[in-house]
Structure formats: structure tokens, C-alpha cells
Homo-oligomer: A and B are copies of this chain.
Amino acid sequence: MKRAWENNIRKVVPYVPGEQPSGNRLVKLNTNENPYPPAPGVKKALSEMDADAFRKYPDPSAYMLTDALARRYHVGADQVFVGVGSDDVIGMAFLTFFNSKKPVLFPDVTYSFYPVWAQLFGIPYQMPKLDCDFRIRKEDYQGENGGVIFPNPNAPTGIAMGLEEIEEIICDNQDVVVIIDEAYVDFGAQSAVPLVSKYENLLVVQTFSKSRSMAGMRIGYGIGHPDLIRALNDVKYSYNSYTMNMPSIILGTEALKDDPYFYQTLEKIKKTREETKIWMRELGFSFPDSQANFLLATHKTVKAEMIFEALKQEQIYVRYFKSPRLDNSLRITIGTDEEMAVLRRFLETYLNIKSHTDRFC
């Protein structure tokens, strides 16, 4: 029998995050983590951190971190909002900016949290279809709407949109807030941050989880007009004044100080990605031309789910989404050269055996 208090529980379809298996032998290419450690300065700052200071509340404005971000991205400190990962920033942005009766627009194939947030906060939404090549059609974002959000590069396709097209979409939607989710931008797309000085309705969101190798620290940020940032902070202070803990503030600030290391790891990942594209094509995979740190790969003959299960048996974890348009693809994170070599060796053997057995079936 249903208990009375259950009637008042919010109905949600919870998002299922990627598995976080543990063990040393495994090759983990399922959650788009960076295979390289954070900047060396982070380790040093961690070793110098004062545990006694934890007895006090952190600075609710996380000023040290917002200021460092502002300098890094050449904007004012009042143009930066920080949160517990970009999920916190975007969730807060849905709650703050998308209070319209008109639907918020985002692609049918995109980050799977967008519809979840919309449902959580009772926000109407529509999901225009990507074209057959998995590209966003900018025309789909020209009608009346309650807001626009999409990632650039899009996830899980990895396809980047040019800045001119993005500007057209922002320009066409000046009555609503447009959010560009740049979780993967550092791996090869152009950032829309320079456009925030031109468009008051633009919020650009980035994260420390991918390009800065700090998923475990939970740091995300939004950059936009001071009025947008003020509105976000008002809602944030209404919900939880102190979201960023001391280690996040201190270590996040530190990570921003080492640009050479940042670009060096990015170049390594991009090189590995381009090499991976070559050998995967040779093995019979096709994929959109990813500018992110992952590939969305489909094999010409073997079903994605079968490959996924076979890989898992070998403790090689990739991501498989059992959802329309994606259920014959694998999202494979770009790891180190060594990790990709393990993946390659297995796939070569597996697909070779597979093609032989299939022939005699």
C-alpha cells in the first residue's frame, strides 16, 4: 500500500552515470576522463594545504577561483560563476533562466542530463533532430522558444560547430538565454567566450573535469554578462551558499596557473585521437569527426552492444547508450597511447575471430 507521504515525492527518471569500476588492470575509457594527471602545481598545493583551516566555512563567493578564471579568460570577476562541476552550473542555469511557458530547445542526441533537468524543474522542452550526419541544424533553433542549450562540440557525437554558426543561433535568440556547454571545447573546437562581451543573453559553461584532469574535484564554471551571473548567484545563495569546498577553491586556482602543462596534455590527447581515428577506420569503424576527447564509433558489421560486452569481459570499459539513434554506437574515451594500444590489440583479435566465425555460421 502506498503511504500518504509518497504522494508528495517528486517524480523523476534518474540519470544513470557511467560505471566507476575499480581495479588496476582495467582500461577505463567510459566517462571521458583525462588520462593524464592534473598540473604538477596541484599536487604541490595539496601537500601544502592546511587541514586546520577546514574548521571554518569557505569563502561563499569562491573569489580566489572566480578571480583566477576571470584573468585566465579575460573577463571581469563579476562575469564568472562557479559550481560543483558543470552539472551544478547548468542545473542552476535551468532553474534560474528557463522559467518560460515556451519550450527550451536542445538536440535529440546530446548530453542526456538536459531532459532530466527540464523534467526535474517542470520546464517544457523540445528536442530538434540532428541531421543524418549527426549535425545540429541551426535552422531548428530559429523559432520561438524558452531558451537554447547545446554542447560544442556536441556530446556524444564530438562534432564541433563553427563560431559563426553559433553566433547566428545566439543572435537569433536574443529574447532568451542561450547556453553553450563547452565541456569538451579545449580538445579542438572554438570557444564562444569572446562573444559574451557582445551578447548579454549568452552563458558559456566549461569544466575542470575533462581538459584540466580534475573530475574528482567537481569544478565547473559559467561565463557571461554580469546580470546573468548575478541572477545565477542569487539562486545559488538561495539554495546553498557554500557549494565549493576549500580544496576545490585552492586546487582549482592552482590548476589555472600552468598553461604550458595544459596545452601539452591537450596536444597529446589530440594526437592520440587522430591516430585512433586511423586504425579504427582500418578495423571497419566509422564515426563523426570528433573534436572532443572521445569517438562515437559504429562497426560496419558487428553490433555495438556485442563489442561493448566483449570489451567489458576484458576489463576494457567504454560507454554504450541503449537509446534511439545511439544503440549501435560506442562512445570511446581517448586514453593514453598505451591504453589505446590495449584496446586496438583486443579489437583486432576479436573482430578477426568474429569475421571468421560469422563466415562459417
Q: How near does chain B come to A339, taking the closest CB pair, in angstroms?
A: 13
Is there a chain B Cβ closer than 8 Å to A218's Cβ? yes
Binds B, one of A88-96, A272-280, A281-289: A88-96
In the complex, residue of chain B having the shortest beta-carbon distance to the beta carbon of A36: B55
Quick check: A14 and B237 within 8 Å, CB to CB? yes
- How far is A117 from B95 in the complex, measured between Cα atoms in Å? 13
Which residues on B sit within 8 Å (CB–CB) of A111? none
Quick check: A119 and B238 within 8 Å, CB to CB? yes
Known: A54-B217, A84-B84. 6 other contacts (CB 8 A): A5-B175, A53-B216, A84-B243, A87-B239, A88-B240, A245-B245
Is there a chain B Cβ closer than 8 Å to A57's Cβ? yes
Which residues on B sit within 8 Å (CB–CB) of A53? 216
- How far is A351 from B279 in the complex, measured between Cα atoms in Å? 82
In the complex, residue of chain B having the shortest beta-carbon distance to the beta carbon of A35: B55
17 contacts between A and B (CB under 8 A): A5-B177, A10-B95, A15-B237, A15-B241, A28-B56, A33-B55, A43-B52, A46-B46, A51-B251, A53-B216, A54-B215, A56-B215, A57-B209, A84-B240, A91-B239, A120-B239, A217-B246
Quick check: A54 and B38 within 8 Å, CB to CB? yes
Q: Which of B15, B49, B56, B251 contacts A238 (CB 8 A)?
A: B15
Q: How many copies does the complex hold?
A: 2
Interface size on A, residues (CB 8 A): 87
Give the most central of A35, A120, A240, A242: most B CB within 10 Å: A240
Which residues on B sit within 8 Å (CB–CB) of A119? 238
Which residues on B sit within 8 Å (CB–CB) of A10? 95-97, 99, 231, 235
CB-CB under 8 A for A58 and B239, given A99-B10, A176-B8:
no
Closest 6 CB pairs of A and B: A4-B175, A43-B51, A37-B52, A54-B216, A14-B237, A216-B246
CB-CB under 8 A for A238 and B17, given A58-B216, A246-B216:
no
Is there a chain B Cβ closer than 8 Å to A152's Cβ? no
In the complex, residue of chain B having the shortest beta-carbon distance to the beta carbon of A119: B238
Q: Which of B56, B96, B247 contacts A9 (CB 8 A)?
A: B96
Q: How near does chain B come to A217, taking the closest CB pair, in angstroms?
A: 5
Q: How near does chain B come to A50, taking the closest CB pair, in angstroms?
A: 9
Quick check: B213 and A55 within 8 Å, CB to CB? yes
